[in-house]
Amino acid sequence: MSETLDQISIIEIFKLLPHRYPFLLIDRIVDIDEDNRATGIKNVTFNEPHFNGHFPGEPIMPGVLIVEAMAQTCGAIVANRHLMGARKLVYFMTIDGAKFRKPVVPGDVLKIEVEKRRQRGNIFKYDCVAYVEGAKVAEALISAMMVDPEEKPE
């Protein structure tokens, strides 16, 4: 469980998710309401490896990485709420209705708001919206499944 009820630090995220640099795409999570909703924070910096090729002279965070940051936010709050010391993984299952409205560039602070739409057993579905300075930059409906590491999802 996180150190506080309303925030998950990067140290706690390391305990909840298997991702590491360069693929850990959230820096902290704030405003947590169990696994119902939360806000993930991603500080976008120029030294991230994808900016070397996307695009030279005009760095833009790839949309697929914004969606991954959304999924990691969902996965972290599911893990924080349900693992309670057990070794489990949260697998990304589906993306629906993804829309990208504005480019995300180095220097931006990406705020990812996730809200649980429903849960059935070990499957979770979240509405996700990403903002920069209050402007919506992306949205998607994401589902994930929590499993034991030995289990393989079908």
Question: How many angstroms from the chain centroid is the CA of residue 99?
Answer: 16
Catalytic residue among 19, 50, 54, 82: 54
The tokens describing 87, both together, are: 């070794």
User: Structure tokens of 49?
Assistant: 């490896």
Distance CA 76, CA 90 (A): 8
Question: Tokens 């696994």 identify what position?
Answer: 35
Write the DSSP symbol of residue 80: H
State yes or no: is 19 an active-site residue: no
d(CA 132, CA 148): 35
Quick check: 84 and 1 in contact, CB under 8 A? yes
Q: Which residues are catalytic?
A: 54
